[in-house]
């Protein structure tokens, strides 16, 4: 009897059994955009993560996310929508949402111009709303047939409103480095590192690093495992830690 080559991946899926939810304070949008992922016309994905904890703490986390893209010639528009809900013993304690939209002009050069905008809120960080808009350039290409890399830099303006009538308006220098290694056609590793200092105070910076494993269970179903690290050098609230770390896994439906 022939064995199913996808059985080990299915075992991994059930053994990991839905780890902790993902923090939305900073979100990696670069994993949405790989040159080979977007075909002419419309495409998109839908993903769902779920975690339960029982015993000393009765806790549940739900994370729903989706991405969409439209490509026509040299023009690429793509976006991401995420929503997170967390409750303990049946009482809601936090929720968060995130919307990101980006446009790339994919001209026949190594450098790609881009513009982007984003809106989000996150109760776990006392963040009522965050809006940003920015632009920049991107340099990308294949280092080897199986290794892709991209480097981007630009400027962005952001405005944040927090609890207790606190607000923050900042112009930032935004930079990122993307690597994507796919040794086999049905699985691969990726990592994205963001570094975003404020122009008027380089000691006020934010870092986001996300590494992940992606396994294609079929043409339309993907297993995702991500490790996410976020660092804020100067949180507005003394009770907030400078960093957050999360490990997530879930399924993604592609269409």
Q: Which residues, 6 or more positions from 55, have their beta carbon under 8 angstroms from its beta carbon?
A: none
Query: Residue 165 maps to which CATH number?
Result: 2.40.160.40
Domain count, the chain: 1
Confidence (pLDDT) at 129: 95
96 inside domain? yes
Tell me phi and psi for residue 143, to 5 degrees: -75, -45
Confidence (pLDDT) at 51: 62
Residue 114: alpha-carbon gap to chain centroid = 18
Q: Is 109 helix (H, G, I), strand (E, B) or coil?
A: coil
For residue range 78-98, list pLDDT tens digits in order.
898 888 877 766 666 668 898
Sign of the torsion formed by the C-alpha atoms of 193, 31, 82 and 118 = positive
For residue range 206-233, list pLDDT tens digits in order.
999 989 898 998 888 888 888 889 899 9
Q: Are 64 and 48 in contact (CB under 8 A)?
A: yes
Confidence (pLDDT) at 175: 96
For the record, the structure tokens of 1 come out as 């009897």
Unique residue bearing structure tokens 């962005």: 156
237 inside domain? yes
pTM for this one?
0.73
For residue range 18-63, list pLDDT tens digits in order.
333 344 444 445 555 544 456 788 888 887 776 655 544 456 777 7
Kindly provide the residue ranges of all beta strands, DSSP E only, lying in the chain, ordered along the sequence: 41-53, 59-72, 75-88, 91-105, 111-122, 127-144, 147-162, 167-184, 187-198, 201-216, 221-232, 243-254
Q: Are 37 and 106 in contact (CB under 8 A)?
A: no
Residue ranges making up the domain that contains 215: 7-254
2 inside domain? no
225 inside domain? yes
41 inside domain? yes
Q: Which residues, 6 or more positions from 109, have their beta carbon under 8 angstroms from its beta carbon?
A: none
Unique residue bearing structure tokens 């949008």: 29
159 inside domain? yes
For residue range 162-194, list pLDDT tens digits in order.
988 889 999 999 999 999 999 998 899 999 999
For residue 9, the surrounding DSSP H or E stretch is helix 7-16
Q: Is 251 helix (H, G, I), strand (E, B) or coil?
A: strand
110 inside domain? yes
108 inside domain? yes
């Amino acid at each position: 009897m022939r064995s199913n080559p996808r059985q080990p991946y299915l075992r991994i899926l059930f053994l990991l059994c839905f780890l902790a939810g993902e923090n939305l304070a900073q979100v990696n949008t670069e994993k949405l955009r790989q040159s080979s992922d977007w075909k002419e016309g419309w495409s998109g994905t839908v993903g769902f993560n779920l975690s339960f904890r029982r015993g000393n703490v009765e806790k549940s986390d739900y994370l729903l996310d989706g991405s969409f893209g439209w490509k026509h010639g040299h023009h690429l528009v793509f976006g991401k929508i995420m929503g997170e809900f967390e409750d303990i013993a049946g009482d809601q304690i936090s929720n968060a949402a995130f919307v990101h939209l980006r446009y790339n002009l994919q001209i026949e050069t190594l450098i790609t111009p881009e513009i982007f905008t984003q809106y989000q809120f996150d109760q776990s960080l006392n963040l009522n709303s965050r809006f940003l808009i920015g632009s920049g350039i991107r340099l990308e290409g294949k280092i080897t047939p199986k290794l892709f890399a991209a480097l981007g830099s630009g400027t962005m303006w952001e405005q944040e409103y927090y609890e207790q009538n606190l607000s923050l308006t900042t112009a930032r220098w935004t930079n990122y480095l993307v690597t994507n290694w796919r040794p086999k056609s049905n699985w691969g590793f990726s990592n994205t590192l963001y570094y975003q200092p404020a122009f008027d105070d380089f000691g006020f910076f934010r870092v986001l690093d996300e590494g992940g494993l992606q396994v294609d269970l079929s043409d339309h179903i993907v297993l995702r495992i991500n490790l996410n690290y976020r660092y804020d050098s100067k949180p507005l609230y003394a009770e907030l830690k400078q960093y957050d770390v999360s490990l997530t896994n879930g399924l993604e439906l592609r269409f």
